[in-house]
Amino acid sequence: MLVGVDTGGTFTDFVVQDGAQLRVHKVLSTPDDPARAILQGLDELGVTSARALIHGSTVATNAVLEQKGARTALVTTAGFRDVLEIARQTRPSLYDLRVERDPPLVPRDLRFEVTERLDERGNVLTALDHGSVSAAVNAAKDAGVESVAVCLLFSFANSEHERAVTEALRAVGLSASASHEVLPEFREYERTSTVVLNAYVAPLMDRYLGNLERSLPEETPLRIMQSNGGSISAAVARSEAARTLLSGPAAGAVGAAYVAEASGFTQTISFDMGGTSSDVALIDGDLIETTDGRVGGHPSRLPMIDIHTVGAGGGSIAWFDAGGALKVGPYSAGASPGPAAYGQGGTEATVTDANVVLGRLSAEDFLGGGMDLDVEAARKAVGSVADRLGTSQEDAALGIARVTNANMEAAIRVISVEKGHDPRGFALVAFGGAGPLHACELAMAMQIPRVIVPATPGVLSAYGMLAADLRKDYVQTIMLGPDDDTSGIEPLFEQLSEQGQREILAEGVEADRIEIEPYLDMRYRGQSYELTVPWTGSIYEARNAFHAAHQLRFGYSDPDEPVQIVNARVKSFGRADRPEIPRSPFDSETAASPDRARDVVFAGSNGAETRKTGIYDRDNLPAGARFDGPAIVTQYDTTTVLPPGWSALLDEAGNLVAEPVEGGRTDG
């Protein structure tokens, strides 16, 4: 038995793989203590032991976003205590005269200096003054901090001074995160920010995971999802907590890639639309990664899946700006009071209310009929928008949907067009509670040729955890110019690979399931940022791979330009025994008949157009079932909208694959 658990803001999702059987379950989350919902769900599922429980946690994420992490200090080289505030000296809103920067996670009075100095190659310019170390340790202890980040200048090249400071802090009982352990990589501001993030959330994760481990059934190992799409043991996550900052969205992308591959699609865009936000990620054969991520405005250089998030979800509120233009989000009605249709006192029009007015959401099939929707309250909320626009309620609802889709189109462009990928060559994998509602219209706008809705879209993040490999990442800055001796690269890779092999073996993975992948970060001389390419043992091949990657990413390359090697990276994998996706072969396509019908509003040539629309219960659709839009497909965890001019097929892998009908209408 294998269990995946995804803790969300409203629900905690469970997917249990028990032999060939797959079970899904949801319980209300308990934000004050997320472990309580996990234990409740396991009890309701009757899980008394498991081969592993893989958990996507929001504890670290919420601590950063809400600035409720541990009281943290920073120890750094004398003269560099303000690097968190100086940052890159860039203004996020260039023309906003009233912009206010987010405060650093460590205030200035908790940033302490030690006397020491290395040069860029790690040579000692000023020896470490142990008196200043003692003063910094005492100051941190007297300040009552719970955690300390240690980041000395050029410690990635020589960690001797930083090790001494870290050992002194740990000797007096303080939790200490050292940059040479978390991120031995150059760029002072990003390295400092990353180790501060780790120190800020590590005590919280340590307590939370420790309590959860003690409460779990005996002999059930706990694994934690990382932002890079792999899992690590709870013991590692407790000390390297910054690696879990985007674990939930990363698991969703892993799940999207896995289920799409079962239907033969390897070029996909994952689209996860929930109640308050939408997460999108591009999958070009493999998941696209970045080391230039941000969480709550704070940079992190740890590898993470390149996920872009926008404030567009079912609870996003429609409003008007100073010029009278209709906007949707990022403000959200949240879970309470929620959309007006939920009948809990909400009065502002949301995306969910718009879908109720359009007839795309109905009380008879919302959450399997288990939740009543207040249609009149939704109409009243959308009506206030219609009055402002001078249109009908249906046209106003279509306007809300279109603005929402435009926000999500912009997010898809960020991870595709802006990075050299044409979305017309990809399929859109829609999941989350609201993703399948908007996916086909979103695909039309982006000219994406097909939409894939997985069998269990509402719990796909939890399912993705079962498909995630165990993974560890290692990096070392080497900074070699085009004429420098590169003979030391291979020995360094051997050292990092041996470390990866050793640590993955320690996680209980069999040797024949371990894979090591080496990479180089490279750039043209004079550039500020790098591209990552595979290392095959040949500098010549690495340079050619860099030129090709540069051409794809930026639209040009120059093979005659000198290339620098900046970092050596190693990814160490313990390949997962992924859950088998059951297949239901079919001999011929079966024309499906709707279970019932109702009026649903779609966009026509002259505005809102009401169409009699077939309603299909997904549980009743056999493999091979094909039907044309307009259609609505209902299931417990989501609703799929198939506009006019589209056709859908339930394939043998259980995925619903929708495409525009050739020559058919594709206006939305």
> Tens digit of pLDDT for each residue in 300-357?
999 999 999 888 888 899 999 999 999 998 888 876 688 999 888 889 999 999 999 9
Domain annotation covers residue 33: yes
541 CB-near residues (< 8 Å, 6+ apart)? none
- Average pLDDT over the chain, rounded to an integer: 92
Q: Are residues 78 and 173 in the same domain?
A: yes
What tens digit of pLDDT does each residue of 565-590 get?
A: 999 999 999 998 888 888 888 876 77
Say how many domains are in the chain.
Answer: 4
- Separation of alpha carbons 458 and 311, rounded Å: 19
Residues 487, 480: contact at Cβ < 8 Å?
no
Phi, psi of 243, rounded to the nearest 5 degrees: -75, -5
Q: Are residues 82 and 54 in the same domain?
A: no
Decide if pLDDT at 617 tops 50: yes
* Banded pLDDT at 57 (limits 50, 70, 90): confident
What tens digit of pLDDT does each residue of 115-170 get?
A: 999 999 999 999 999 999 999 999 999 999 999 999 999 999 999 999 999 999 99
Closest CA to 270 of 283, 258, 284: 283
Domain annotation covers residue 49: yes
Tell how strand 607-617 and strand 124-126 pair up: unpaired
Domain annotation covers residue 11: yes
Q: Are residues 146 and 29 in the same domain?
A: no
Domain annotation covers residue 458: no
- Whether residue 31 has a cis bond before it, omega within 30° of 0: no
Q: Are residues 78 and 201 in the same domain?
A: yes
Decide if pLDDT at 19 tops 90: no
Looking at residue 104, its pLDDT comes to 93
Decide if pLDDT at 92 tops 60: yes
- Separation of alpha carbons 302 and 6, rounded Å: 22
Residues 226, 57: contact at Cβ < 8 Å?
no
Q: Are residues 525 and 569 in the same domain?
A: yes
Domain annotation covers residue 35: yes
Decide if pLDDT at 547 tops 80: yes
Q: Are residues 516 and 550 in the same domain?
A: yes
Closest CA to 255 of 41, 64, 507, 17: 17
Domain annotation covers residue 136: yes
* Banded pLDDT at 367 (limits 50, 70, 90): low
Token output for 217: 């059934």
* Banded pLDDT at 666 (limits 50, 70, 90): very low
Domain annotation covers residue 222: yes
From 97-101, 264-268, 508-512, 523-527, the region with the lowest mean pLDDT: 97-101
Per the model's pLDDT, the better-predicted residue between 344 and 84 turns out to be 84
CATH code for the domain in which residue 103 is found: 3.40.50
The residue from 574, 601, 627 where one domain ends is 574
Q: Are residues 528 and 650 in the same domain?
A: no
CATH code for the domain in which residue 554 is found: 3.30.1490
Q: Are residues 136 and 167 in the same domain?
A: yes
Decide if pLDDT at 476 tops 80: yes
Looking at residue 668, its pLDDT comes to 36
- Residue 565 β-bridge partners: 480, 522
Domain annotation covers residue 549: yes
Mean pLDDT of 438-458: 95
Domain of 478, in residue numbers: 470-574
Q: Are residues 92 and 201 in the same domain?
A: yes
Decide if pLDDT at 413 tops 80: yes
Q: Are residues 55 and 90 in the same domain?
A: no
Q: Are residues 90 and 161 in the same domain?
A: yes
Q: Are residues 54 and 79 in the same domain?
A: no
CATH code for the domain in which residue 14 is found: 3.30.420.40
